[in-house]
Amino acid sequence: MTLLILLGLLNGVAVSLSRTLNGRLASARGAMTASLANHLLGFALLGALLILKGAPWERLAGLDPWLLLGGVLGALFVAISSWAIGRVGALACALLIVTGQLAGGALLDALAGRLAASDLLGILLVLTGAALQRWQAGKARPTP
């Protein structure tokens, strides 16, 4: 279990670093170019790994097309966050993403009948922390 927690934390750090690097690339070349570069390089890496592993291409045959929408949503996520991070900063972008993930996760769990009161309390605590950060950030900015 400790390994899973550490991997989850490492994954979160990697997402923040990835968003920041793509944000810098988006500032220099545009959000769509940053998203394209991100996905082309990711495709090349995963393609090479799958070829080395002996890619099971036949497993993709016959899938319902809507199951592939995750890739479309992932591409939109990269493009939007690459554009936004340069405008709101890394922490605010991460807080907005986490807030959206909490809302989406809560909705999906509620629809599946798996949302408990303790889940709602956890969401409320995270959202309170995000609100406090944004409130404090707003106070710290000098007025023009």
Give the pLDDT band (50/70/90) at residue 106: very high
Side chain identity at 83, as an amino acid letter? Answer: W
Rounded Cα–Cα distance for residues 100 and 86 (Å): 19
pLDDT of 137 over the 80 cut: no
For position 114, what pLDDT does the model report? Answer: 93
Q: Please return the burial class of 23, using the count of CB atoms within 10 Å of its CB with bins 0-12, 13-18 and 19+.
A: buried
Predicted structure pTM score: 0.71
For position 140, what pLDDT does the model report? Answer: 67
